[in-house]
Amino acid sequence: MFLFLTYDSWAHIFRHTGPWDPANSAAWFMWGSCAVIAVIGIRRPLKMLPIVLFEIVYKTAWLIVIALPLYQRNQLTGTPAGAMASNFMLVILPIVAMPWRYFFRTYIVDKRQKPAAGVLLK
């Protein structure tokens, strides 16, 4: 994510000319920010799992809601959406690589005992 997304997003941002479309610009800056944050994942990959989940959710949702209907109507191939769909299909890699058991145990279940309000730990 860091290598490819950093170059693509920030190159697009710095080379852009003319007025920005607000929604389109928000997407480019979101991707650029995720790419910069992904550098932390090189050193601390388990700490960055929420970012990986974000990537999995938005790409999978886009493929289902946007690309699948176009594909079913034979309108995906040769379009900008088709090119995005080809790239987004690689979402299978983070899905397979995600340590799901660790993720659910750490971020969803988290059975660690939390101190009661006002109790100090020694």
% of the chain exceeding 70 in pLDDT = 90
pTM for the whole thing?
A: 0.76
Confidence at 110, pLDDT banded by 50, 70, 90: confident
| Maximal CA-CA distance, the chain | 65
Is 67 in the same domain as 97?
yes
Q: What is the pLDDT of residue 117?
A: 58
Angstrom distances, CA of residue 23 to CA of 27, 29, 96: 6, 10, 31
Within-domain flag for 122? no
Is 104 in the same domain as 49?
yes
Is 22 in the same domain as 76?
no
Domain range spanning residue 80? 44-110
Residue with tokens 């176009």: 70
Within-domain flag for 30? yes
54-96: pLDDT as tens digits = 989 999 999 999 999 999 999 999 999 999 999 899 999 999 9
Domains contained in the chain, number: 2
